[in-house]
Amino acid sequence: MRLYRVAWVSAEWPALSPDNPFHPLHMPIDRQGAGRFDNPHRYAALYAATSAQAAIGESLGNSAVWVEVAVTRPKEGHPHCLVTLDLADDQVLRDLDDPQVLVELGLRASDAVRRNRDHTQEIAQSLWLDMPRTGTRGLRWRSYWRPEWEVVVIWSDNLEPPWFPFLDVVGVEELTMEHPAVVLAADVLPRELRSGPRR
């Protein structure tokens, strides 16, 4: 299963360990907790999307205008990048858009889409605790920004890196205002792309 996420990545990332802040699979656990399916006292949560434009949209969707500094902003000299990942077994993700899965989990569709983080984090923790029995490593659901987009969360086994040895990094591309995924995401949301500093 091909997945995409936005992250700051070092050009030397193949030589880095996953617990380095600029590795494509690094998760800043100390800054997690606000995400829909976070439980940073239990696991690292990696959020991604099944298309490049969805990953961009999820990352920048809160802003009505995407200025160049927000799209391309480097961090400590490392570029803002689109990371392409491969998950060998997509059966480890439970699909919250599947009515049968919702019935099995005792959930309603509104449980998956509403922005009640206390509730969704409780759901995630329950599924994570049951992971040894079920093999469930995460969830799939429809994007808040665009229902045609699918997003996922993948949980680590514990808090010790490497958190996601079952994910392969396929590619890393530096983001620009002209990147096709940026242009497409801005077009379909829609969002204004504006070069230069924020006004």
pLDDT in tens, 97-123: 999 999 988 888 877 777 788 989 999
Whether 47 and 113 have beta carbons less than 8 Å apart is answered as no
Q: Where are the domains of the chain?
A: 2-194
Its pTM surpasses 0.85: yes
pLDDT in tens, 2-46: 999 999 999 999 999 999 999 999 999 999 999 999 999 999 999
Coil, helix or strand at residue 121: helix
In this structure, the number of other CB atoms found within 10 A of the CB of residue 116 comes to 13
Helix (H) or strand (E) holding 142: strand 138-142
Share of residues in the chain with pLDDT > 90 (%): 88
